[in-house]
Amino acid sequence: MSDPTRLQAVDVERDSAKLTQTHLDFMRRLEKENVNRVLKLRAIRRKNILTGALLGVRAQKKLSQNFLLDPAIINRFVSKARVAGCHVVEVGPGPGSLTRAILQLQPRSLTVIEKDERFLPLLESLADTCVNEDGRMRIVHDDILTFDMGSLGIPTEVRRDWNNRELPDISLIGNLPFSIATRLVINWLFDIATRRGPWEYGRVPMVLSFQEEVAQRIVAEPGTENRSRLSVMCQAFCDVRYGMTIRGGSFVPAPDVDAGIVVFTPRATPLVPVEEFGFPFFERVVRDIFNCKKKDFRKGVKNLIPEKLHEILLPEIVARAGIEVDLECSGPIYLTVSDFGRIASAIKELHVAIPELAKYDFRSARTTRTNGEELLPRVERFLRDGWNAGGPLSAFAV
């Protein structure tokens, strides 16, 4: 006896006379959706098998892990870097997908820096099959955020003078975790500005992955929607080039966003006179001005000076920096890197003349930060003695 709770099979040819076109269209739509659902499930199952069986571990969300497994995409990624015959440093190799592609291009040496100890056995097996100048691939188990990049042990003979057009035979490559990528690149820009770590050897290039939105910010030109603090900081010290887009579905597990590859080449001469005011100060100036990204850049400059000095100092700083204000395009996204450099130089001159101004931080509690009223007489005297007498900074080579 048939089960009354089961749906009876429909024979379309036999029962077509009983079915309207609407019924037939609905059935075909259901069939198509079911096929798509099965294909998606097969893809998920395949990726789970690859992750579980081949890697033996699962990606950890807290480490922002997303692995590339597609050989074609991996090869395109690695092709953006200088690898053959070079000393290569790979950050966050994970299961070694990029590592294999790097090794196939025969680098002179390879150092991988991995935080997750679960991947060490797999990387060790790769190292056992690798024969380089130093005998094997070097594996460093450490957190890249705290690792001393100056301890890589790269031979001194590959060093190149900073102004040499020829880059040293060293490359840094990494499929970076999205959660730390911005912080990490700011740290490395500081090292580039001060020529520390790998950059003791010269203008070492980098090929790095980011969330696509972040990658677009890094390469964004003045006046574009993606222009940001990161654009200014990266472009001040590096020539940046967008390499390629990697769809989110190419990763295991797949993130909700796409990734973008950016190629960094340190500039022989930075676009700002960082030796005058230092990297941390410049980074603070850019960050505080972009705190008011949607408003006039002068509102952001106010973040750098006490409230009671806004009226007297703001126009003087803008004049000293030689910036002509266009009310139609007055947001910080319209400023060039050199504009930010001249603003930083002007504010640094103020700090040298009146050191108390350097202690001001608009982020600190109102009860603890000065409003600048007690400094007003000294500021007026400084301006009266002719701060801008020598002309705006834009009249000089900056």
200-212 residue pLDDT tens: 999 999 999 999 9
Average pLDDT over the chain reads 85
* Spatial contact of 274 and 263, defined as CB atoms under 8 Å apart: no
User: Does residue 226 have a known ligand-binding role?
Assistant: no
pTM of this prediction? 0.81
**Between 18 and 169, where is the model more confident?**
169
User: Does residue 25 have a known ligand-binding role?
Assistant: no
| pLDDT score for 16 | 59
Provide, for the chain, the percentages of residues in helix, strand and coil under a 3-state DSSP scheme, each rounded to the nearest 5: 50, 10, 35
Instruction: Give the Cα separation of 141 and 137 in Å (integer).
Output: 13
Distances, alpha carbon 117 to alpha carbons 50, 147, 161, in Å: 19, 15, 37
Instruction: Give the Cα separation of 209 and 211 in Å (integer).
Output: 7
- Residue 252 pairs in a beta bridge with 67
pLDDT digits 0-9 by tens, 253-302 = 677 889 999 999 999 999 999 999 999 999 999 999 999 988 999 999 99
| pLDDT score for 388 | 60
For the segment(s) 274-395, the CATH number from 1.10.8.100, 3.40.50.1980, 2.130.10.10, 1.20.1730.10 is 1.10.8.100
Instruction: Give the Cα separation of 93 and 137 in Å (integer).
Output: 12
Among candidate residues 190, 299, 289, the one with its CA nearest the CA of residue 234: 190
Residue 339 in this model has a pLDDT that exceeds 90: yes
* Token pair recorded at residue 392: 């705006």
Which range among 58-62, 222-226, 247-251, 362-366 shows the weakest confidence by mean pLDDT?
Answer: 58-62
Which range among 4-13, 146-155, 176-185, 192-201 shows the weakest confidence by mean pLDDT?
Answer: 4-13
Residue 15 in this model has a pLDDT that exceeds 70: no
User: Does residue 390 have a known ligand-binding role?
Assistant: no
**How buried is residue 222: exposed, middle or buried, by Cβ count under 10 Å (0-12/13-18/19+)?**
middle
**Between 8 and 129, where is the model more confident?**
129
**Between 96 and 242, where is the model more confident?**
242
Q: pLDDT over 90 for what percent of the chain?
A: 62
* Reported confidence tier of residue 249, pLDDT bands at 50, 70, 90: confident
- The CA-CA-CA angle for residues 198, 212, 187, to 5°, reads 30
Number of residues written out for the chain? 398
Q: CATH classification of 62-266 is 1.10.357.10, yes or no? A: no
User: Does residue 143 have a known ligand-binding role?
Assistant: yes
User: Does residue 335 have a known ligand-binding role?
Assistant: no
User: Does residue 157 have a known ligand-binding role?
Assistant: no
Helix axes 229-237, 337-353, angle to 10 degrees: 90
| pLDDT score for 320 | 93
Residue 175 in this model has a pLDDT that exceeds 80: yes
* Spatial contact of 77 and 84, defined as CB atoms under 8 Å apart: no
| pLDDT score for 266 | 98
Instruction: Give the Cα separation of 206 and 82 in Å (integer).
Output: 9
Residue 111 in this model has a pLDDT that exceeds 50: yes
